[in-house]
Structure 1
Amino acid sequence: MEELIAKRYIKAIKQDSDAQKMQEIAFVFSILAEAFNNEKFIQIINNPDVSKKQKSEILLDAVKSADFKEVENLIKLLAEHNRISIIPAIAEVMRKDIALTSKSYNGIVYSDSDIDAKVIEDLSSGLGSKFDSKISLKFKKDSFNGIKVDVEDLGIEISFSKSRINSQIIEHIAKAI
């Protein structure tokens, strides 16, 4: 639900902004979204004793140095309609929208064993050429018995399980006999 509301706000911002300005606004909102990880900040934002105006002023003070009228107006509008809590959703939708527009995506490679940086780089370039995009992959050690590549924004997940490959080899040998 929050994502749908966030998309409407972003659509309005996109009409008056170029790609560079959208990236700068997205950066401001990503920093604001990080504030929602702070328990004290959430208590203040959710406190009914704190007025809409006070909440708005807290957020406006946080983004004052960015000097974006669009951001300031959006924050005032969100505060006025009690929608400050969708700021993290706005940041995420903006990030995805910019990734889609620029065809630049981030992904994660999961494995239980270490993977050479060259292999990760080859995977990035291979996937990038396959999907006509720039894909940056990072390695994350995990309990997955094999290799799993996940690029969430593109909606792709590729996995090679050691146990599955072993069972397929055995099955293939059994059929050959």
Structure 2
Amino acid sequence: MNRSVIRLRETRAGQAGYGAVLGLVVLALSGAVGLALKQPWLFPSLGPTVMLFFESPEQPSSRPQNALVGHGVGLVAGVACFYALGLQGTPPAPDGGLTPAYVAAGALSVAITTLVLTLLKLPHPPAGATTLIVSLGIFVQPVQLLSMAGAIVLVTVSGFGVNKLIIGRPA
């Protein structure tokens, strides 16, 4: 445990710097993998996940299990709603416009994600963004979904590891 970092994190500026620098490092790592693989290893819901890891590592929603299960449930719910509502073959909502089917897929996927994570007692609010990314058709190809899953694992493992190494407690 690094006592000087822990003391530094007790100040507002120290906590802000810790979160900013480590968030930058972890997201840059994920982005670098994405660049190398030419796949989406950096997407919107990773931002709030990393912020939780480094701004409030003591919160239940910051635990690695919550992040992994939360985003996993979000991916599955998003895919299920996207296909159940017959959206395959249509342009993603940001490109083709929001349709009633996309509204239903998005709202339903967030509701399912919330329901499952609440029942499991594994809250992770950024998973709501993951499920929307999928249910709105932004990333739905199998390789994109695998990339999202890989990025979630990478960010969670690296965030957990960095917090454990530097402040002596996991994300």
TM-score range for the pair, normalised by the shorter chain length:
0.3 to 0.5
TM-score by structure 2 length?
0.40
> When you count strand as a share of all residues, which structure comes out higher?
1
TM-score, length basis structure 1: 0.39
Q: Which has the higher helix share?
A: 2
Structure with higher RCO (Cα < 8 A, 6+ apart)? 2
